[in-house]
Amino acid sequence: MSTEADYKRLISGELRGLLPAAARACLRPLSWVYRAAVSVRNRAYELGLLPCYQAGVPVISVGNITAGGTGKTPMVEYLCRRLCTAGWRPAIVSRGYGARAGPNDEALLLAANLPAVPHVQEPDRVAGAREAIERHGCDIIVLDDGFQHRRLRRDLDLVLIDCTNPFGYGYLLPRGLLREPLAGLRRADAIVLTRAECLPPADLDQLRRQLERLAGNKPLLTASHRPRQLWRTDGSTEPLRRLGGQCRRFLWYRQSCGVPAYAPAARCYRRRDANLSRPSPLQRSGPAVAADLGRFVERGPGADHAKGPCQAAGP
């Protein structure tokens, strides 16, 4: 397969015939090997055989359980805005995929939308957290795509699940898109269902019940992408009424939803007459996540966290 779209058509079963079926059969044993490796690694962290490091400031992780876009970048931006409003000095720490020649697309987007929030792109997230604290003086870290990165201890683990493909075709990589077994959802402190407007209410309720069985009694939140304004290529904006209910073209999408999720969101927005959006605030659909997130946002910075360099901590 030459493109990501072709690969997804293969693993989803959309491609039919003898050769695609043989390819899927070959990928399945590789998924078993991947599952074994991930399970051993997770167990090593649970037993304390692999070290976990304390940053010295609160850490909020935004992650997912499938490869691809689930809306992490808009969520990171949303959290940073809330934290800044509450008086915190957040910094974003991410892996920086594709950033060898400079900031990647996500970093450029966040820099444009959050110019006052430092963003450290570092493959070693522990080193990145140290840099964010010592160089930028942050007092809270938002860890982008951090659910599987367990070396850095976090105080709140948010896992985002895309309602349009919640379980990555039901298989682990490379046969599917799951990055770890679904049992890993029990590590999450809260689960956010993104693009919830793409599912009929009955299907959304069924997905919630399924996640309750998988993750236990964890807060389940929903987030929707809703149109708010038009963006021109020169950066200017116009009100949605200019659409007149007739717009059927995505003039601007990347900065509202993230590039990887273009196709599923496009299908959703074609059912609405406006096709450009930004993520709406989280909507409650379970026990209040404010018990955890509010512990940072409402309380304000400074309490109950050692102000020091990254150090080893328990599992």
Q: Looking at the structure, do residues 286 and 263 belong to the same domain, yes or no?
A: no
Q: Tell me how crowded residue 78 is: count the other CB atoms within 10 A of its CB.
A: 19
Q: Looking at the structure, do residues 230 and 218 belong to the same domain, yes or no?
A: no
- Which of 16, 30, 283 lies closest to 163, judged by CA? 283
Q: Looking at the structure, do residues 81 and 124 belong to the same domain, yes or no?
A: yes
Q: Looking at the structure, do residues 237 and 260 belong to the same domain, yes or no?
A: yes
Rounded percentage of the chain residues whose pLDDT exceeds 70: 74
Q: What share of the chain is helix, strand, coil (3-state, %, to 5)?
A: 40, 20, 40
pLDDT tens per residue, range 11-45? 999 999 999 999 999 999 999 999 999 999 999 99
Q: Looking at the structure, do residues 143 and 251 belong to the same domain, yes or no?
A: no
Read off the tokens for 186: 């029990």
| Residue 304 pLDDT > 70 | no
Q: Looking at the structure, do residues 219 and 240 belong to the same domain, yes or no?
A: no
**Read out DSSP for 299-311?**
T-TTSS---SS-E
Name the more confident of 287 and 56.
Answer: 56
Q: Looking at the structure, do residues 214 and 247 belong to the same domain, yes or no?
A: no
pLDDT tens per residue, range 129-177? 999 999 999 999 999 999 999 999 999 999 999 999 999 999 999 999 9
pTM over 0.75: yes
Give how many domains the chain has, as a whole number. 3
Give burial (CB, 10 Å; 0-12/13-18/19+) of 48: exposed
Entry field: residues in the chain: 315
Q: Looking at the structure, do residues 109 and 20 belong to the same domain, yes or no?
A: no
Domain limits for position 39: 4-46
Tell me, what CATH number does 117's domain have?
3.40.50.300
Q: Looking at the structure, do residues 307 and 192 belong to the same domain, yes or no?
A: yes
- Which of 34, 9, 31, 35 lies closest to 20, judged by CA? 9
pLDDT tens per residue, range 204-262? 999 999 999 999 989 999 998 777 777 777 778 888 777 665 444 443 333 334 444 44
CB contact at 8 A, 264 and 198:
yes
Q: Looking at the structure, do residues 58 and 191 belong to the same domain, yes or no?
A: yes
Q: Looking at the structure, do residues 150 and 265 belong to the same domain, yes or no?
A: no
